[in-house]
Amino acid sequence: MQIDTTWLRKQFAQFNRQYFDSKLPTPRFYVGYSRTQLGSLSWKQGTLWNNRPYRSFTIRMSNYYDQSEHSFQSVLLHEMIHLAIAHSGIKDTSPHGVVFRKMMERFNNDGWDIHVMTRIENMDRSNLKPRNTYQLYLVLALQMDNGQRFLSSVNPRYAIKLNKEIPSIHEITHFSWYMSSDAWFASIPRVRSLRGIPVDSEFYNEKLRTMTPTEIPDLPPGTYYE
């Protein structure tokens, strides 16, 4: 079988309730065709609007090999263990150390098949072709009266609300909306309020040159992952 981000979100929510008391933050999901990694967890941290810190997690999984649903679920749980350790701030002895292995053993006792490393040499390659899809991001670009510049990846459901709020904030001297498929926006939180990543003017202008201007609420339907 092959999986997609809809499957990942559904399974993640189920396992989060079942094994983690719904305490794990929902990460971004990405399905690719890696030959060497069945799954991975990555995260970034930095400073948001008004110097608020953030951490953004991403779970990536591969459709390159033909796996059963149970195998895909076990890979996802592997990455969720990593997420639980990273989110809690627990210091393990190694990436697959004592804490990881204790959680892995508990899950495997419940019928899962989680491994520290999975041998892929004898795995069958999926005969399904990669999907030619990409994700679009709704981007808000802001300039402040003190010269600062911010870029935000905005949840489209909140775009109209934010668009109405911006004119009342006198510190904002200019703002514009864009569409972008730039993967850089996958590494920052997708916001529902006026928050953004501070960037320098060179980076700001470089991103603007590569994006397509858009108007709110004239957004292309069906182009976002929820």
pLDDT at 77 over 50: yes
Whole-number Å distance between alpha carbons of 33 and 96: 24
Q: Which amino acid is at 91?
A: K
- The residue ranking higher by pLDDT, 28 or 23, is 23
Q: Residue 207 in contact with residue 151, Cβ under 8 Å?
A: yes
Percentage of the residues of the chain whose pLDDT score is greater than 70: 88
Pure H helices in the chain? 5-20, 69-88, 98-108, 159-165, 201-210
Query: CATH 3.30.2010.10 residue ranges in the chain?
Result: 5-110
At residue 69, the pLDDT reads 96
pLDDT, mean over the chain: 86
- The residue ranking higher by pLDDT, 43 or 147, is 147
Mean pLDDT of 219-223: 41
- Fold of domain 5-110: Zincin-like (3.30.2010)
Q: Sign of the C-alpha dihedral, residues 142, 148, 154, 157?
A: negative
Q: CA nearest 59: which of 93, 90, 36, 84?
A: 84
At residue 126, the pLDDT reads 85
Q: Model confidence at 226, in pLDDT bands (50, 70, 90)?
A: very low
